[in-house]
Amino acid sequence: MTFYSRQKVPGESEELQNTVLVMKDPVTYEEAMSRNDVVYWKKACTKELEAFVKQELFSIVLKPVGCKVIGCK
């Protein structure tokens, strides 16, 4: 479960701006991208990917012809 306060959004009421949200963390990328707080999840994804690139944790390669691509968790 995540507890966090939100940044002020133009046009919101004072009451809503002072609300602390309690939400369950998304389990999948699709779930994160369909939430009201998607902007925060996109920032988190970008930050994580930038860290992977900086640490050279992966390389992008072409899929060999005839090979089946498998997913991962």
What's the distance, CA 31 to chain centroid? 9
**Residue-level pLDDT at 58:** 80
**Bridge partner list, 4:** 21
Distance separating alpha carbons of residues 35 and 27, to the nearest angstrom = 12
Return per-residue pLDDT of the chain as tens, 73 residues.
444 555 666 776 766 666 656 678 889 999 999 988 899 999 999 999 999 989 998 888 888 899 888 877 6
Distance separating alpha carbons of residues 11 and 65, to the nearest angstrom = 53
**Residue-level pLDDT at 30:** 93
What's the distance, CA 72 to chain centroid? 17
pTM above 0.85, yes or no: no
Residue whose structure tokens are 């920032």:
43
What is the Cα gyration radius of the chain? Answer: 18
**Residue-level pLDDT at 42:** 95
